[in-house]
Amino acid sequence: MDIEKVNSMDFREFVDVFGNVVERCPLIAAAVWSQRPFSDLQDLKQHFYAFIDALPQSGQEGILRCHPDLAGRELQLGTLTAESQREQSSVGLPGLGADERLRLAELNAQYRARFGFPFVLAARLRAREAVPRELARRLHCPRAQELRTALGEVKTIARLRLADLLGIDPARL
């Protein structure tokens, strides 16, 4: 999809296509639509990033709370968004054994209790065994640092999802 196609979309189409670039946050796509026309695909991505950056901390934490736990209850119940299902599947999280699932559930619960939002990671860029290691490592980070890291992961996920939707190599965004 090229920038002309993106710029020609009406509001409903734009939100339908880009509404889950940021997990379960179609309002962001709605706000980004109003910034058209975009000069190029990089500009489109920057508008998503700028919206996230402009939010107060409570809004940024709200975005994080829209993300599911990795290998969590939603994966087990089959209620993930299509994008999250693909991302978690690509790293093999549905195939975790009972002990691995339990370990991740414990780490996810500790992380949520410490930070007040779920652990967010661009899982498809990691090996399966790296997920619990990274979660355990980040569990000990200062809160402000972890908020920045988690928002960086949200942006990485958004960039990858945009690349998927636009049919381009993520390195081009």
List the catalytic residues: 67
Q: To 10 degrees, the CA torsion angle through 85, 149, 112, 135?
A: 70
Rounded CA separation 89/66 (Å): 19
Coil, strand or helix at 36 = coil
Token digits for 12?
A: 């409903």
Given a contact cutoff of 8 angstroms between Cβ atoms, the answer to whether 37 and 155 are in contact is no
What token pair was written down for 54?
Answer: 């402009």
Give residue for tokens 């999250």: 84
How many CB atoms neighbour CB 32 within 10 A? 23
* Token code pair at residue 71: 């290998």
Assigned token pair, 65: 């709370």
Contacts of 98 (CB under 8 A, 6+ apart): none
